[in-house]
Every structure is written in structure tokens, then in C-alpha cells.
Homo-oligomer: A and B are copies of this chain.
Amino acid sequence: MELWLIAPLTALVSIVVAAYLYVYVNKQDSGTPKMREIAGAIQEGANAFLKREFMYLTVFVVVVAAVLAIFLPNGPIMGVAYIFGSICSGLAGYFGMSVALKANVRSAHAAKEGLNKAFPIAFRGGAVMGLAVVGLALLGISVVYYLTGDPGIVLGFSFGASAMALFAKAGGGIYTKTADVGADLVGKVEMDIPEDDPRNPAVIADNVGDNVGDVAGMGADLFDSYVASIVAVMILGQAMGIDKITLPLIFAGMGVLASILGVGLVRVGKKGNPGKALNWGTYLTCVIFAVLTFLATYYLELNFGIWGAAVVGLLAGVIIGITTDYFTSIDRAPAIKTAESSKTGAAINIITGFSYGLISMVPPLVGIGVASAGAFFLAEAFGVSGIYGVGMAAVGMLSIVGMIVAGDAYGPIVDNAKGIAEQSGLEEDVIDVADKLDAAGNTAKAITKGFAIGAAGLTVLALLGAYKEISGAVSFNLMDPLVLTGALIGLAMPPLFSALVMLGVGKNAFRMIEEIRRQFREIPGLKEGKEGVKPDYAKCVDIATKGALKELILPSVLSIVVTLAVGFIGGIEALGGYLGGSIFSGLIFALLMANAGGLWDNAKKYIEAGAFGGKGSDAHKAAVIGDTVGDPFKDTAGPSLNTMITVMSLVASVFAPLIAIYALSF
């Protein structure tokens, strides 16, 4: 038996475990009729979104697949691999969202019996997504590689996954913030009614949004990075000599095992701290991965430099996660100082939060830098090409993605659970339990966002290496004018992309706000909460969905077309510089926006917990403005950038053979 077949085997195990957990969640009690009704509305809204998204996506995927089939060498196979990649990623997202939409109401119901009953339902619901992502990703790669034996074709699979990620992450991000900003601005600010109040017409759209953006979106994003990192290393391995091609698959297989074990070990007591439980689960998974791969390296006589590089990557991921946590946590200096600054008004709150957001990018940038240099030199010290080591650092960092996604998908499940508990009028102490579950979700979310950005960073560096091998470029020297010009254009792309996406949220939120106001104005008794009067939830879901997909078109098309234009006009070196520039500014804005957004959110929560005048004070109003600015930062523009830079890198690598031949030359 070939050794690398451990990858599809563990992938299958992962899928089986996911299915088992799905069944477990599904057989839990789904609560009172009122709760089922609300959960049903969320489910309906989510399905409406997914249906429309998949419709758009199908058109997009078919067009791109046709382009690949026509123009590329190996075109038809590439096209098929591309479609297969987008289907696998879409399947994982659909699977994960289905269970999330069941786990939310079930864990809300179980909250009546205490934390230790509700937590496993929510967490296992998240784990389905996590294990489905790694299972389907690894299985997909294995199938494509088994059938073709060519990492170049696996690149097509990866490209397909990235198209899915772009739709799920950026489209979902626009959707979720449209709903959130709209619901908050009219509900909380204008009408002064609480969050998640059933009178608010956008409340269902808002609940749907959490699932769309954070479950399906984050899952597709990490699916994308996970596949891309493995493919990049396979390509680098091929360039170095045949025996290393399947090595990342073996490591990834170990990572899947570690994630399954880690998921199984997460538990929390009756008075336990679910946030701690999630974090310990992550740390444990890391340790298991390091031990498993150490043993594999020892017994299979693999290269310890490569093992070291993978562990360096993993460590960097953990460090980035922890520093992100510091800069966004509710009980740390940045959030507290930002909260305090709200006393002098919204402007100072925003300046302070933005400034800490700027500072927060220092540790991850230095971390990615040191990790890549460390992995490079470790690999070289053991006789392996340094850039291969950098790729393995990315694979190592992403090896525990199953666990990371599980923790992340837990977030929207408990956020929804809290919403359902409030909307269906459960008792104070039940809502209290739901609150505790939710707070843990926010911490997990901050860490996984940092992790996702770090992983994307190392992955695109590995992809840059892969691109260099495929294109045959000699170096990307900043003193070469084409590289430099490419880099300057590349730098401009992520800011342009985030701006278009955020302006999209603004435009869409505007439509949403008009609709919410209209309903409050025109539906008699709605504002007063008269018995039996219900807003038109579906209309709001529809507005958010249509608008989100419309606003996504321009930035997506630009990120593909400009990449090709730079390549075909400037040549392979210019395109290398362009990728470098876009990686740089992509990392910067992804980190800044995710962290500043998280920080403003928690500064507001810190005040709501009673500090500086508490809820309703001027400081609170100022902090709410900061939080609203942060919403599209942290949930739309910031996290979409990971995906965007991965897509651009993959476009470059996929078209590199053509560019090398047909580019205008200077």
C-alpha cells in the first residue's frame, strides 16, 4: 500500500465521525413550538440565501471552467477538477450549515438543563463543519491526485474551492453585515428596542447572517487555504524530485487524526468555562499533531527538518491566535482603553480602536516573518529546499483546521441559540446559560480569525513559491522595475477590494434600512408589539441576499481580470511582484480590520457590562458607533481578503504556463 493513502483513509474517518455527530445533534429535543417556529424561520432564510447563491455560483463556475477547458493545456481535465473543487467545498458548507441550523435551537433548549448539557450539542454541531471541511478537502485532493498523478491538476481543484470561498466569504460577509447594520441602526439606535427583538423585521436576516458568514464563509475560507497549502507544497515537491510530492498529504492525514481526537476530548463541567474548554481543545490538538508527526517522521524515516518546519508553522498559528486574543479580548488593555476613550465621544473611540488595530498587526507580521525564515532555515539545515519548508509551515499551521473550524462554527450556533432563547421568551437563568455559551463563542471567533489570516499568509507565500516554479521565474527582485511596478499595483488591489465590498454593504444596508423603517411605519401594531402582529422577515432576507450577490460581482471580477492583465502585459516577474504586493497589503488590511472590529465590539460590551456609565450612557452611544464601523471591517472586508489573495495567487499559478509563453515582453 502506498503510504500517502493514509490521507484519504483519515479523510473518510473524518466524514464518518461528522455524520455520527450530525445524527447525535439531530436526535436532540428541538424545544417548544415557539422555538421551532423561530428556528424554522432562520432555516428558511438560510436556505433562500444558499439557493440563490448556488444559482449565481453555478453560472460563475461553469463559465470559468469553460475558460480553463478552452485555453489551458490539459484544459478539460482542469475544468473538471475545478468544478469538483467547488462542489466539495460547497458540500462541506451545506452540510455544516444544515447541522448548525439544527444545533442552535437544540442547544437553546438544552440550556434549560444547564451548561454541561447545552455545550456538547453546540460544539458537536460546530465539529460537524470542521470535520466535513477537512474530510472533503483531503478526500477531494486524494481522488484528483490518485486519478491524474499530477499536482498541476490538483491546482485546478484548489482554484475551484477558492471560487466557492470567494462567494461564501465575501458574499456571505456582505449579506451578514447588511442585515446586522440594518437591524442595529433602526432597531437599537432609532427605535430603542433590544437586539434580537422579534418585532425587528431584520432579526431573522441577522440570525441567518451569522450562519452564512461565519459557518459557511469561514468553513469555505479555511477549506480554500487548507487545499491551497497542500497543493502548493505538492508542486514545490514535484519541482524538487518526485519522492516528496505526497508528503504534505501524510502530514495532513495526521492533522485530521489529531483534530478528531481533539474534538472528542473537548468537554466542560456544570460550572465549567466553555471558552477555556475550546482553547484547551485547540492546544491539545496541536500537541497531538506534533507527537503523531514526530512518530511518523521517526518510524517512516522522513526528514526532521520538514517536521520542524511544520511545527514552527503550527506554533506561529498559536502565537498569532493568542496575540489576536490579547488585542480583542474584553478584559485586556486595548479594549478597556478603547472603552474608556468613548467617554470623549465616538471620534476618539474610533481613533483609539483604529490605532490599537494598527499595533495589533505587529505580532502576526513579525510572527509570519520569523516563522517563514525559521522554517526556511530549518529545512535547509536538513538538506531540503527552504521554500519547501515554508510551504510545510503552512501545512503544519493548517493541519489542525478541523478543530479550528469546529470552534469557529460553534460561535454562530450559540449566538443563534441565545437569540432563539430571547425571542421565545425563555427564563432568565436559561438566557444566562446561553449568554455564557455565546461569550465563549466570541473569544473562539477572534482567535480563529487571527489563525485564518496567519494561515492564509503562509499559504500564499507557499503559493508564490509554487508560482515561481511553474512560471520559471528566476527571482522577484524589488529593484527590477517590472517587479516593483507589479508590487505597487498589487498593493492597491486588497484595499480596492475591501472598499468595494464595504461600499456594497453600505448600499445594501441603505436598502435594508428603508425597508425596516417602512415596515415599522406601515404594519399597524408592529412597533407596539401587539399580539399576533409579525413583520415580513422574508422580505428582509431577500433584500440582503440579492444585494450581497450583486455587490460581489465587481470586486470578484476585478481581482481575476487585473491579475491576468498584469501577467499578460507585464510578464511573469511583474506578476510575481504583483502577488507579493497583494499579499503584503492583503495581510495588513485583513489583520487591521479583523482586529479593530473585534476590539470595538468588545469595548462596547465592556461598557454594557457596566463600565463608564453602562448601557444608555453617552460613552455607550459612542461605543455603539465604533462597533457599527467595526462590523463590516471584521465580518466582511477583513476576512474576505484572505480569500481574495488566495484566489489571485491561484489564478496566477493556473495561468502561469500561458503567461510564460504569451506575455508581452519588455
Contacts and interface: CB of A to CB of B under 8 A. Distances in A.
A499 to B, nearest CB: 4
Interface stretch (A5-13, A445-453, A581-589, A606-614): A581-589
B588 A369 contact: no
Contacts of A502: 351, 354-355, 358
Contacts of A486: 369
A629 B489 contact: no
A489 B355 contact: no
Interface in A201-250: none
Interface in A181-203: 181, 185, 189
A26 interface: no
A195 B352 CA distance: 24
A278 interface: no
B625 A347 contact: yes
B344 A478 contact: no
Interface string A621-661: 00001101100100000000000000000000000000000
B513 A484 contact: no
Contacts of A143: none
B362 A492 contact: yes
Interface stretch (A299-307, A413-421, A460-468, A535-543): A460-468
A34 B386 CA distance: 73
Interface in A491-533: 491-492, 495-496, 498-500, 502-503, 505-506, 509-510, 513
A288 interface: no
B348 A506 contact: yes
A475 B473 CA distance: 15
A484 B369 contact: yes
A488 interface: yes
Give the interface centre of A465, A481, A585, A666 by most chain B CB atoms within 10 Å.
A481
Contacts of A185: 344-345, 347-348
Give the interface centre of A352, A361, A584 by most chain B CB atoms within 10 Å.
A584
Interface stretch (A166-174, A259-267, A372-380): A372-380
A110 interface: no
A487 interface: yes
A576 interface: yes
Given A496-B359, A585-B584, A390 B350 contact: no
Contact of A506 (B352, B358, B461, B468): B352
Contacts of A361: 492, 495
A154 B104 CA distance: 69
A355 B175 CA distance: 18
A208 to B, nearest CB: 22
Contact of A373 (B359, B464, B481, B580): B481
A122 interface: no
Interface in A329-362: 341, 344-348, 350-352, 354-359, 361-362
A476 interface: yes
Contact of A499 (B359, B478, B491): B359
B584 A373 contact: no
Given A358-B495, A359-B495, A585-B584, A390 B481 contact: yes
Contacts of A513: 344
A619 interface: no
A557 interface: no
Given A477-B476, A628-B347, A369 B495 contact: no
A599 to B, nearest CB: 12
A368 interface: yes
Contacts of A352: 503, 506
Contacts of A405: none
A212 B347 CA distance: 23
Contacts of A628: 345, 347-348
Contacts of A359: 495-496, 499-500
A492 B625 contact: no
Nearest to A367: B488
A488 B362 contact: no
A489 B480 CA distance: 21
A367 B162 CA distance: 31
A456 interface: no
Contacts of A91: none
Nearest to A347: B628
A485 B584 CA distance: 11
Interface in A520-577: 576-577
A482 interface: yes
Given A351-B629, A476-B477, A481-B373, A358 B491 contact: no
B478 A387 contact: no
Contacts of A629: 347, 350-351, 354
Nearest to A579: B478
A484 B372 contact: yes
A64 interface: no
Contact of A584 (B500, B510, B581, B592): B581
Contacts of A468: 479
A62 interface: no
A356 B499 contact: yes
A315 interface: no
Contacts of A510: 344, 348
10 contacts: A354-B629, A356-B503, A359-B500, A362-B492, A365-B492, A373-B485, A376-B481, A478-B580, A488-B584, A585-B585
Given A386-B481, A478-B576, 13 more contacts: A350-B350, A354-B502, A356-B503, A362-B492, A362-B496, A365-B491, A366-B492, A369-B487, A373-B482, A373-B485, A478-B483, A491-B587, A491-B588
